[in-house]
Structure 1
Amino acid sequence: MEEYDAVVIGGGHNGLVAALYLLRAGWSVAVLERAGTVGGAVASGEVTLPGFVHDLYATNQNLFVASRAYADFGADLTRHGLRFRVCDRPFANAFPGGRSLRVYRGYERTLDGLAAHDAGDAEGFADLYRFYQRFAAHLFGFYGCGLPSAAAAREAARLLARQGVRGTGELVRTLLMSTRELGESRFATPEARAMAACWGMHLDFAPDIAGGAVFPILEMFSDMQTGMAVVEGGAQRLPEALAAAIAERGGTVRTGAEVDRVLCRNGRAAGVRTTDGTRVAARRAVIANVGPRALYERLLAPDLVPASVRRGAGGYRYGPGTLMLHLALDGPVPWAAGEELARFGYVHVAPYVDDLARTYTEAKAGLLPAEPLLVVGQTSAVDPGRAPASRHTLWVQVRAVPAEIRGDAAGVIRGTGWPEVAAPMAERVIAKLERYAPGVTGLVAAHAVHTPRDLEDANPNLVGGDNGAGSHHLTQNFLSRPFAGHRRHRTAVRGLYLTGAATWPGAGMNAASGRLAARQVLWDARRGVPRRARNPRRP
């Protein structure tokens, strides 16, 4: 039987990052991935026509570029072929009548465009940017800490020392806002309010859900400062580079190896068993890059899990589903708002806050939304090598849709199964895009649809097609992620740890969960659990 210091279940980016940190500390590590390739929700492929490379799921890599993991291992990843392309036009919103709002890589240029739209919007944007400048370092600091932890306590102390009770209270009040409240507190027009609210829908924050304001604040201004980054040549190259860096350090990455049981001895994780019966021993730790339901209901024997933990895992909630539409185009998108819009990384098509609220309510009720949010990723505008000369790839994330269909909000599409509904829903999406970009339908050379069911089949962590791998509402976030009492990546079984989007700090290509899980593993080993383990340095 093979034996390693640690075994990582799942080759998503957090699992791979955790493995790298353990290898750096001198551990032997094996990563076992069920799929034929590593990456999880970071993948790319030619799913429409040869020569058109599409990011199948995640595409915006800003969080990874800014991560501690990239700072620590960026040189290794670059050596293994990872490159980024950065767009200086990160995102925009398109509205009826050929209107748009645009955020550039640059404050003054962005503010000038908002002022031309409405002076009140420019004033509110400037005020919100000052807020971001005051608090961003603290917010990103908390995202890089385990919760609870001494590091988080020190960050809270720094916040109080620098901002005082009044400033800290202002931060807390703002972060508890819904995206509708955030927009109404700062912006004068429906267009600018929608610009903020669309970012909340990337997760599962409809306009009227408390706590939705934090992600739009961070995303709007970090994109404005840094632009939007995609992986040159396709998102798949990122996990491939991580896997190559693991192999270079002596680690093992095995694909097509699905784990069906965590093996325990004397109440402690001791290894794993794969579906073909192979057993792999873990002397010191097992790290599971899976959802809490999968861990406690499938991978662990029931008698090892206290009833309270089983209830907590069973109550883990998922947000609404996502539909991905990939288009191969014979030319750039002919936006009614002007040809420059075709050079932006993202274009949000909602159009307004009430439309977002209606869409979310319909999706949660099991209805196909009549007017879903379209997050239009113009990937080949950022990385021209993704498509043949003068042609383009288009990445359309449709938010939100139901995991299980009960009907159609528009009363047009018949059927309640995704296989039969996929084609007419794609037609609805393209028809909506046509209203904002007249002539785009005639440019579609081919398309591919990935339904919520397809997303879950490709990556079981995306239950119901939830691209965030679990709701981020306040009752399931911060100290309560994945659920109350389950903190700092430890589980109910000694030596078994949980990482991934279901753990703090949640979804996104930030690699923070993998780094924090590895740090917790090393810290526990350093304190003598188990005693025979070597004393690795803390990362």
Structure 2
Amino acid sequence: MPDAVVIGAGPNGLVAANLLADEGWSVTVLEAADTPGGAVRHDRGVHPDYVSDMCSSFYPLAAASPVLRGLHLEREGLRWSHAPAVLAHPLSDGRCAVLSRDLETTRRNLDGFAEGDGEAWRRLTLIWDKLGPDILQALFTPFPPVLSAARLAAKLRGAGGLRLARTLVLPVRRMGEEEFRGEGGRLLLAGNALHADLAPEAAGSGGFGWLMSMLGHSHGFPVPVGGAGALIGALVRRLERLGGTVHCGQRVDEVLVREGRAVGVRTQDGTEVRAVKAVLADVSAPDLYGKLLAEEHVPARVREDLRRFQWDFGTFKIDWALDGPVPWKAPEAAGAGTVHLADGVDELTRFAAQIAMRQVPDRPFSLFGQMTTSDPTRSPEGTESAWAYTHVPHEVKGDAGDAGITGTWDRHDRETMADRVEAQVERFAPGFRSRVKARRILSPTSLEELDANLHGGAINGGTANMHQQLFFRPLPGTGRPETAVQGLYLASASAHPGGGVHGAPGANAARAALRRRPVRRVFSGVQHMLTKRDRTGEPGIADSPAPAPHTT
């Protein structure tokens, strides 16, 4: 019996498993899919000469995460690569806002939109230089982050205090209007806010747009050399080197609970895998509480709160194999790894409003990834492995366009929506379609089939809006990985701090499990008595059995 069973071999599950193994725990990871990785995988499914990331691609949060840095995955062969520019936001008139890791490059670009906007951007970076390390520390530690929050509060007083706090909770539209005279800076902030399901008018979207922009400035939007799955490969190798195991094709159907404590799991084929100390679940909160736990183990208030759990937007994605570079109207976009496609902030608002009205957008805001520009190993020289994704409502009530997309995501819906996204690309890159050798369409249902955590194509584990963050995440009054079941921990993006590839939910769950005082356990009528001490000085579980009629 392993000390811990981890459900799910996504990045959070593997981070949790590695941290437990670092402390000498034996760990078994069970993954439903045939390969590990969750939403961090790549393949050659579009074209045999092209590497395509199947879900996520760019990892600024991974680059900034003290959790992942502490694992030293470079020792396992992981290497990062950057595009010349972090991101670009072209407009249909040929102008283009550019975010670079080089501050002077960004300043010159924004001054081209309005004199003085480069200096306004520099002021935002100075605030980040002062507060960024403590913000990241607070973000990546369990809630409440007492020490980092105290340091942050002290520094806030010196950085503008309440005025700065007011700025960061502004809607990104208003923040852009207050900070910049021209469109360039406003576009960078607003486009980055739309990486989550935050409309330009949503409270707090300004702070999120600023955070993502500053991560791009300080850490870039790097990609793993060779494909997204290289990150997962490094995590798996590290875990196996420490004695942990990963078993794929093992879907967990139930968390086993005895007298209020998680004692293991049951897989789809009926196999029971017992855990001596803990079960960690890298699954969505609705799946954990609504499917894996029997109803009697879920408090009535939790069941009631789950009815109000809100998913983030659905996602529609296309992968392309291009026989040449993207013919951008704005040449500055050619060197960016990520390109935001919307003709101004007003178009972003229009897009978000259509989703709020449960309509499929007619001009979908698209995040476009130029993977060969970011990592030359992704496709033959002179070509481009590319993708774009956009958001759609979970429940479709109508099509804002005139093509009759219904939201069933049948062949008609998929092909029609893919053509609509390509038409959006053509607005900013005339002739794009002539470069397409092959394409692959991943609808919201396709993404969920790849990873059950991506419910309806939701990539954030639940909305990033303020009413489901911090101590509201995933449910009011939680904010921590512990659950109502002793020894069971939520380790997915549904937990604080939420989505993104940074490993914090998994790390928080692992640390919570490690802090907990072990208790006596019974499996198959045999009690393993406490006869020795573990590394923390608390009693550990030995192998000497003694019969007992119950679990304590």
Report the TM range for the smaller structure's normalisation.
Answer: over 0.9
**Per the alignment, in what secondary structure is the counterpart of residue 119 of structure 1?**
coil
In the TM superposition, what whole-angstrom CA distance separates every residue of 1:90-135 from its partner, at most 9, and x where no partner exists?
1110101111011122111211121122114223212222222232
**Per the alignment, in what secondary structure is the counterpart of residue 4 of structure 1?**
coil
**Per the alignment, in what secondary structure is the counterpart of residue 375 of structure 1?**
strand
Distance 2:491 2:288 in 1: 11
Distance 1:355 1:178 in 2: 16
TM-score, with normalisation over the residues of structure 2?
0.92
Contact 2:302 2:475 in 1 (8 A): no
Q: Which residue is 1:252 aligned to?
A: 245
Distance 1:79 1:154 in 2: 31
Q: Which residue is 1:329 aligned to?
A: 322
Correspondence 1:1-400 to 2 at 5 A: 3-74=1-72, 77-148=73-144, 152-164=145-157, 167-338=160-331, 340-398=332-390, 400=391
Contact 1:194 1:351 in 2 (8 A): no
Correspondence 1:424-503 to 2 at 5 A: 424-503=416-495
In the TM superposition, what whole-angstrom CA distance separates every residue of 1:174-212 from its partner, at most 9, and x where no partner exists?
221111121111011234312211111111101011111
In the TM superposition, what whole-angstrom CA distance separates every residue of 1:163-183 from its partner, at most 9, and x where no partner exists?
438833234212211111211
Deviation at 1:353, TM superposition (A): 1.4
Corresponding pairs, count: 528
In the TM superposition, what whole-angstrom CA distance separates every residue of 1:40-69 from its partner, at most 9, and x where no partner exists?
111111121111111111111222122223
Distance 2:419 2:69 in 1: 43
Point out the more displaced range, 21-30 or 83-92. 83-92
Point out the more displaced range, 8-17 or 113-122. 113-122
Kindly tell me: are residues 357 and 434 of structure 1, through their superposed partners in 2, closer, same or farther at Cα, counting changes over 3 Å?
Answer: same
Q: Which residue is 2:546 aligned to?
A: none
Kindly tell me: are residues 439 and 483 of structure 1, through their superposed partners in 2, closer, same or farther at Cα, counting changes over 3 Å?
Answer: same
Kindly tell me: are residues 359 and 331 of structure 1, through their superposed partners in 2, closer, same or farther at Cα, counting changes over 3 Å?
Answer: same
1:511 aligns with 2:510: no
Kindly tell me: are residues 158 and 443 of structure 1, through their superposed partners in 2, closer, same or farther at Cα, counting changes over 3 Å?
Answer: same
| Unaligned ranges ≥5, structure 1 | none
Kindly tell me: are residues 324 and 536 of structure 1, through their superposed partners in 2, closer, same or farther at Cα, counting changes over 3 Å?
Answer: farther
Contact 2:65 2:136 in 1 (8 A): no
Q: Which residue is 1:408 aligned to?
A: 399
In the TM superposition, what whole-angstrom CA distance separates every residue of 1:516-536 from its partner, at most 9, and x where no partner exists?
11111111137x687948534
Kindly tell me: are residues 414 and 397 of structure 1, through their superposed partners in 2, closer, same or farther at Cα, counting changes over 3 Å?
Answer: closer
Contact 1:25 1:537 in 2 (8 A): no
Distance 1:243 1:254 in 2: 11
* Aligned AA (1:413): G
Distance 1:164 1:405 in 2: 46
Distance 1:537 1:52 in 2: 48
Distance 1:222 1:487 in 2: 24
Contact 2:87 2:336 in 1 (8 A): yes
| Unaligned ranges ≥5, structure 2 | 522-528, 538-552
**Per the alignment, in what secondary structure is the counterpart of residue 222 of structure 1?**
helix
**Per the alignment, in what secondary structure is the counterpart of residue 475 of structure 1?**
helix
Kindly tell me: are residues 89 and 529 of structure 1, through their superposed partners in 2, closer, same or farther at Cα, counting changes over 3 Å?
Answer: farther
Give me the CA root mean square deviation. Answer: 1.8
**Per the alignment, in what secondary structure is the counterpart of residue 45 of structure 1?**
strand
Higher helix share: 1
Distance 1:139 1:123 in 2: 23
* Aligned AA (1:273): R
**Per the alignment, in what secondary structure is the counterpart of residue 489 of structure 1?**
coil
